[in-house]
Amino acid sequence: MSADVIDGTAVANQILSDAAVRSTRFAEVVGRKPCLATVLVGDDPASHTYVRMKTNRCATVGLDSRAHRLPETATTGDVVALVAKLSTDDTVDGILVQHPMPHQVDERQIFETITPTKDVDGVTGASFAAMALGDKGFASCTPAGIMHLLDAYGVDPAGQRAVVVGRSPILGKPIGMLLLARDATVTYCHSRTVDLANMVSEADLVVAAVGRPELIKGNWIKPGAVVIDAGYNPGNIGDVEYTAAAHRARLITPVPGGVGPTTIAVLLAQTVEAAESAHVVE
């Protein structure tokens, strides 16, 4: 068996195309573009790269992007003050706080300062509750992107045994909630799970989101399973041993080019949605 490769870029382009149409309509009705404000603290090179990529994408979809940068020495209070100001700014529709942050900054406190109606990255407790309870709200972008990939390739989670390897509050935990809402039977695992290989080998759907290069071995994959690798490690290596897994899986995401493109696409689409909701654009 040789897995079909899930093309995340193609799926992302569809999301972005729809967002561009809606963004244009919003600008025509409201008189300004939907606006995403980004907050970056410190000098982490990867974070600067990610913010620049998102800024460039905003331009292609017709969004206004406003970058706010604070120094490495910024305190929790400094960042809270900035985010609180953006939360009350009527010309800002979505807020993205780039993480990780410097060690002295309370990241969770920063996230909770974002008003839920502008939490287009899905990082607040309110957004997690909405995902868990099936209420209206914004999903965490990577988990939402994964759901787009599954839908695009006709993967119905209902009745499937899904194993999520990872438990972060913005990836592992919420993707499990979204899969559960679609009637999958979900098991959470992590790097300290006893007999992880056996857990993975029984899964119809594997979501790798632990941040450990090639932690999940290819020979663990159940023949015919769907493998979603949301890990990204130095050297363009995912959390799954890709080549070996591709010989057993039915569908698999590459790294890069799988989950990553849909994450940014969902962020921009949710920014447009936030703008539409705030201004009642139909």
Active site residues: 54, 98, 121
Q: pLDDT band for 282, please (50, 70, 90 cuts).
A: low
pLDDT in tens, 199-235: 999 999 999 999 999 999 999 999 999 999 999 899 9
How many angstroms separate the CA atoms of 94 and 274, rounded?
A: 7
SS3 of 233, please? strand
- For residues 64 and 61, give the distance between their C-alpha atoms in angstroms, rounded to a whole number: 9
Yes or no: say if 265 and 12 are a contact pair by the CB < 8 Å rule: yes
Give the Cα separation of 12 and 267 in Å (integer).
11
Average pLDDT over the chain reads 95
Mean pLDDT calculated for residue range 76-87: 98
Task: Express each pLDDT in 133-181 by its tens digit.
Answer: 999 999 999 999 999 999 999 999 999 999 999 999 999 999 999 999 9
pLDDT mean over 87-99: 96
Confidence of residue 281 (pLDDT cuts 50, 70, 90): low
């900054």: which residue's tokens?
105
Which pLDDT score, from 0 to 100, does residue 51 have? 84
* Strand ranges for 154-234 from DSSP E: 161-165, 185-189, 205-208, 226-229
Spatial distance between the Cα atoms of 250 and 266, rounded to a whole number of angstroms? 25
Query: How confident is the model at residue 1, as a pLDDT?
Result: 65
State pLDDT tens for residues 8-30: 999 999 999 999 999 999 999 99
Judge residue 158's burial from the number of C-beta atoms within 10 Å of its C-beta, 0-12 exposed, 13-18 middle, 19 or more buried: exposed
Instruction: Bin 245: left if φ > 0, else alpha if -120 < ψ < 50, else beta.
Output: alpha
Task: Please report the pLDDT score of residue 273 as a whole number.
Answer: 98
